[in-house]
Amino acid sequence: MPSANLDLVRSINAAHERGDFSSIAWADSEIVYVIADGPSPGSWAGPEAMTQGFRENLIGWKDLRTEAEEYRELDEERVLVLTRSTAQGKASGLVVGQMRTKGAALYHVSNGKVTRLVYYWERERALADVGLRLDSAC
């Protein structure tokens, strides 16, 4: 039976799969948001900073979609989501290329709120960070 944490993460991802990144009601007031790798890694603390960091990373992309391929409850507080993302790169409004990546998102949940969210562009790095191997997770 799915846990409340898994249900929360699935609801967040359902909105993101539709391209809706507008809600942060799920974020703890002291959330730490991390982009671990990729073109613009960084870390932000608090919902407002998380929103700003996310917007900064969206500027270079058009039609970003992230689809969950698999959900894994790692323990009572962590849910790993294996993702597939697509987007078109843009420069000055011109589409410059298509991006497809298999990544992951690691959610830390406490008391019904996400306290830490780590996005990975490279799935292998996410799996290594949580102690899994690629062949055991995909």
5-45 tens-digit pLDDT: 999 999 999 988 887 888 899 999 999 999 998 878 999 99
Q: Which segments of 1-138 does DSSP mark as H helices, in order?
A: 4-17, 47-58, 123-129, 134-137
Tell me whether residue 137 is in a domain: no
**What is the 3 state secondary structure string of 7-33?**
HHHHHHHHHHHCCCCCCCCCEEEEEEE
Question: For 36-49, how does the pLDDT look when each residue is reduced to its tens digit (9 = 90+)?
Answer: 988 789 999 999 99
Tell me whether residue 132 is in a domain: no
**Structural domain range at position 120:** 4-127
Domains identified in the chain, total number: 1
Quote the pTM value.
Answer: 0.85
Mean of all residue pLDDT scores within the chain: 85
Show Cβ contacts of residue 55 under 8 Å, excluding neighbours closer than 6 positions: none
Element (H, E) at 64: strand 61-73
CA-atom Rg of the chain in angstroms: 15
Strand, coil or helix: what is 103? strand
For the domain that residue 73 is a member of, what is the CATH number?
3.10.450.50
Residue 95 carries which side chain, given as an amino acid letter? V
- Between 135 and 36, the more confident residue is 36
Both tokens assigned to 77: 């507080």
